[in-house]
Amino acid sequence: MLKTIKTSELDVGMYVILPSSWLKHSFLKGSFTINNQEDIQRITDFGIHEVSIDTAKGLSFPNTEMISHAGDEPQLEDQQAPVQWSPEKIVPDELKEALKDRKMAKEKKATVVYHSSVELMKRLLDDPKTENIREVKKGIADVVDGIILDDATAKHMLAITTHDYYTYTHSVNVGILSIMLSKALFKNMDSHNMHELGAGFFLHDLGKVRVDPAIINKPGKLTEEEMKKMRTHPWQSYKILTEANQLSEECRIIALQHHEREDGRGYPRRLRGEQIHIYGRIGCIADVYDALTAARSYKPKLSPFEALRIMKEEMINHFHKDLFERFVLLFR
């Protein structure tokens, strides 16, 4: 059953049908399930005041089906039955089309590439089988080429990153940030395989599909026992890529080292200083930045400036200082 409601009445879990054409908003489709508050904000930002919702496919209005505890945020990640994707469908058509379209405005291209990359990672986390990992790596390679060859689109992508901290959104944010830093560091150098680096950065958290969803989706801070289980995800990422026969040296390093810290207080191997590869150091910086700028139920999201300030003043021992300074320059 269709109902027309005001945008201000939207809630997470509703199936919305937008009144405007695909070219007038940044979503991949004109109808979809609202996954988070960021989706609602984006609808509002495009000046849409009324929408239709399909109560047969999502929550109704008034919303009496979802009651959350004070301080908890609705989390839909991993709560629905897993969706199966064929390798032919795993890479969104919108991503392919936008990357090939040389006439599309830079801002529009950045928006479509970013949000379709998020959809790409969501599909892979729904169905991380070997054939899909192989196809996703091809899609990531195309995104990496776009970031490397088109400075304007890359800058716009950096500006529109969203911070809801779903694993698929986080994966794309870390991928974009890390490739942009790698581009600044390795420009005109042939000794770095940027396609494999992109795959490593985008897939660094793939191992979370083997962590209990209750831990991934927990609205509060994790207990020590839960943290022990969460800290297995770098090794699990390594194992998944190995099983899929997609483990290049770049992917191996990034999967295993993106939570290592310069002061030796990271995991899983507590590496220190020069024991950490530059790829692991890049992934660490991007990972921490995105975590700080993401909203969680137990903390507000920080602005880019505030996140960088905290990283410099309170966490600098976690990072290689020269690389962190180059990372800050991305936001000029």
Average pLDDT across the chain, whole number: 87
**pLDDT at residue 320 greater than cutoff 90:** yes
300 — pLDDT class (breaks 50, 70, 90): confident
How high is the pLDDT of residue 227? 95
pLDDT of residue 250: 96
Q: Sign of the CA dihedral 139, 177, 250, 237? A: negative
**Residue ranges covered by each domain of the chain:** 2-54, 93-329
Spatial distance between the Cα atoms of 109 and 146, rounded to a whole number of angstroms: 10
- Which residues are 32's β-sheet partners? 16
What percentage of the chain reaches a pLDDT higher than 90? 64
Predicted pLDDT of residue 274:
97
Give the Cα separation of 179 and 121 in Å (integer): 16
195 and 230 in contact (C-beta within 8 Å)? no
Q: What are the pLDDT digits (tens) for 113-161?
A: 999 999 999 999 999 999 999 999 999 999 999 999 999 999 999 888 8
Render pLDDT for 195-250 as a digit per residue (tens, 0 to 9). Answer: 999 999 999 999 999 999 889 878 788 899 999 999 999 999 999 999 999 999 99
At the top level of CATH, which class does the domain 93-329 belong to? mainly alpha
